[in-house]
Amino acid sequence: MAAHKHIETIKEHINKTTNLDEAQKSDSMKRIEEWVMEDRAFGTLQNELIKISTFFESLFAELGIE
């Protein structure tokens, strides 16, 4: 899976959405940056983001990420 390819797209969607408040956006970006630095499995990142908001379930489906 080209997980790293999707990271920038996910960040763009986070910045543009009105479905997340500023704290959720900040927490999401923090988790993404930690994931990139630690090079963990993409599924781990997905699960962490979905815990923040169901917005991410819709976003991942829209991007074709399962």
pLDDT digits over 2-40, tens only? Answer: 566 788 899 999 999 999 999 999 999 999 988 888 777
* Phi and psi at residue 16, to the nearest 5°: -85, -25
Confidence of residue 1 (pLDDT cuts 50, 70, 90): very low
Where do we find the tokens 């923090």? 30
Containing structural domain, residue 12: 3-63
Residue with the bigger pLDDT between 41 and 45: it is 45
d(CA 44, CA 35): 8
What 8-state DSSP symbol labels residue 59?
Answer: H
**Number of domains making up the chain:** 1
Surface-to-core class of residue 37, CB atoms within 10 Å of its CB (0-12 exposed, 13-18 middle, 19+ buried): exposed
Amino acid at 46: Q
